[in-house]
Amino acid sequence: MSGTLERPFDFVIGGAETPGARGERAPVKNPASNAELAQVAVGHADDARHAMEVAQTAFESSWWASDDGGRRAKALVKLAGLLESRLEEFARLETLNMGKTLKESRGDMAFVVRTIEYVAGLADKVQGETISVPGARLDYTLREPLGVTVHIAPWNYPLLLAVRGVAPALAAGNAAVLKPASLTPLTAIAFGRLAKEAGIPDGILNVVVGSGSEVGEGLVSDVRCRSVTFTGSGEVGRRIAEIAARRTIPATLELGGKSPVVVFPDADLDRAARGIAFGIFGNAGQMCWAGSRLIVHASVHRALVERVAKIATATRLGPGTEAESEMGPLVSPDHLQKVAGYVESARSEGGKVVAGGSRVDEAPLAEGNFYRPTIVDDAPPAAKAVREEIFGPVLVVHPFETTDEAVRLANATDFGLFAALWTKELSTAHSVARRLEAGMVSVNEAPVTFPQTPFGGFKGSGLGFEQGADVVRAYTRRKNVVVNLSVPKPKT
């Protein structure tokens, strides 16, 4: 890929493409080469206000918020179909902007299509209830959309994590304003452009780009914002929760992780090694639920680490657009620095680097942000690389002797997003799954999720859940109506 995509990527507000109030644009880069990829509009607080105003007007004046969930479902199914028919184009754009392999981007886009179809199926199933109460009364509840919902997305699954919140909010009849990460806004903007063709009224799906501190906070602080869905770092998530608390609006927070993978001595080591490698080197390790801490029984420690190291060393790095590439670059030079810094600190704190441990500095990959799949064995539990989320392809390894010790090590973290365990023993699988402090647990499986299964974290990993059968209702408010049915006594 050389040169810039010709058409600039402007905001989508009120069904129109607009470069924003000040007309500013900035380049986004291709992380495989750090060459300029496209020019993207950059917004400010006034653009955030404008998007919120347009969304509020559309919410109040279009048919979208009406009781006709079936009509919304039709538009959403159309939107999913449009995306599916252009899946290859979207996958390529995601890969060019974010770096992941085309295979990964295709998987992400297919997940987005399924998510929209799934919530479309729920759009006409949002209903209240009648409640028996004493006396001559009828009591019932209504489920109403919230109004304008704000969605702030990170860069690691740019479109997938944006649509995961936007789609159910739309299905419930809200108007959405989406702010993708500044590093990776292209697919979100391209997605916003599809709304009109799908028959979604102008102003119901808006996309605005700009820094989180200005545009992101501007959106959440706006009086019209009725809920915020945020996926990103804990630091920013807690800041958003503070703003939401001041405004008494709900916040769904999907934050980071440092997820344990516990391997018992009876596990199928070959399968486990493949699952572990996928769970930490997939997406170049830039996954909130990466299985980044391997907690392995001492009797199989060496054998398992050897297997994972073999996979790590054999992984072919290269631009995501090339069919042979098995792992793409990290998203930016800053992020590469951060990941490399963690590995250096692990080394100096006594960890043994048994695979990877360096960036690729041979041409032509040296131009991009490539970092080798890395394993740090026997890292002391207090090491920075063991405690903090690295968000890169770096696995730290600890041996254990007893099940209690494994559970204690697994839970010894501020996070609680995901945990995996590998064993053939049914009783071990189910009893340990209960003891792990994580919102999602997988047994004999690398991380896997579906639109119909809840996704969310415990402890420092977040608040609330996304996906699952309740997800559309989560974007509604409940109103109780009581009607007095007593007939007045006739006057004599």
- Our answer to whether residue 254 is catalytic in this structure is yes
DSSP result, 185-216: -HHHHHHHHHHHHHTPPTTSEEE----IIIII
d(CA 331, CA 124): 39
Residue 462 as a binder of ligand NAP (CB under 6 A): the answer is: yes
Of 433 and 458, which has the nearer Cβ to ligand NAP? 458
Closest CA to 371 of 350, 352, 390: 390
Show the site string, 401-440: x = touches ligand NAP by CB under 6 A, - = not: ----------------x-----------------------
Stretch that binds ligand NAP, among 6-14, 200-208, 231-239, 301-309 (CB under 6 A): 231-239
Stretch that binds ligand NAP, among 116-124, 178-186, 378-386, 480-488 (CB under 6 A): 178-186
Of 101 and 231, which has the nearer Cβ to ligand NAP? 231
d(CA 415, CA 43): 33
Which residue among 95, 101, 149, 156 contacts ligand NAP (CB under 6 A)? Answer: 156
Residues in the chain: 492
Strands 251-254 and 462-463: antiparallel
Sign of the dihedral through C-alpha 420, 423, 426, 429: negative
d(CA 372, CA 175): 42
Residue 49 as a binder of ligand NAP (CB under 6 A): the answer is: no
Tell me the longest C-alpha to C-alpha distance in the chain.
Answer: 101
Residue 447 as a binder of ligand NAP (CB under 6 A): the answer is: no
Bridge partners of residue 397, in order along the sequence: 294, 377
Residue 275 as a binder of ligand NAP (CB under 6 A): the answer is: no
d(CA 397, CA 394): 10
Which residue among 120, 205, 284, 288 contacts ligand NAP (CB under 6 A)? Answer: 288
Residue 449 as a binder of ligand NAP (CB under 6 A): the answer is: no
Cβ-Cβ contacts under 8 Å for 314 (sequence gap 6 or more): none
Residue 231 as a binder of ligand NAP (CB under 6 A): the answer is: yes
Residue 451 as a binder of ligand NAP (CB under 6 A): the answer is: no
Minimum CB distance to ligand NAP, residue 478 (Å): 26
Question: What's the token pair of residue 109?
Answer: 């886009």
DSSP result, 126-147: ----EE--SSSEEEEEEEEE-S
Residue 240 as a binder of ligand NAP (CB under 6 A): the answer is: yes
- Our answer to whether residue 389 is catalytic in this structure is no
Minimum CB distance to ligand NAP, residue 61 (Å): 28
Which residue among 83, 181, 379, 419 contacts ligand NAP (CB under 6 A)? Answer: 181
Stretch that binds ligand NAP, among 249-257, 273-281, 304-312, 359-367 (CB under 6 A): 249-257
The Cβ of residue 253 has, within 10 Å, a number of other Cβ atoms equal to 23
Of 336 and 417, which has the nearer Cβ to ligand NAP? 417
Sign of the dihedral through C-alpha 67, 69, 75, 76: positive
d(CA 309, CA 408): 25
Task: Provide the terminal-to-terminal Cα distance of the chain, rounded to the nearest Å.
Answer: 90
Catalytic entry in 104, 225, 288, 389: 288
Residue 222 as a binder of ligand NAP (CB under 6 A): the answer is: no
Is the Cβ–Cβ distance between 375 and 395 less than 8 Å?
yes
Q: Tell me, by CB under 6 A, how many residues bind ligand NAP.
A: 30
d(CA 23, CA 33): 27
Phi then psi for residue 390, to 5 deg, are -90, -35
Which residue among 94, 108, 254, 377 contacts ligand NAP (CB under 6 A)? Answer: 254
Residue 187 as a binder of ligand NAP (CB under 6 A): the answer is: no
Show the site string, 335-364: x = touches ligand NAP by CB under 6 A, - = not: ------------------------------
Q: Which residue is nearest to ligand NAP, using beta carbons?
A: 212
Residues annotated as catalytic (active site), given as ranges: 254, 288
Contact residues for ligand NAP, defined by CB under 6 A: 152-156, 161, 179, 181-182, 211-213, 216-217, 231-233, 236, 239-240, 254-257, 288, 389, 391, 417, 457, 462
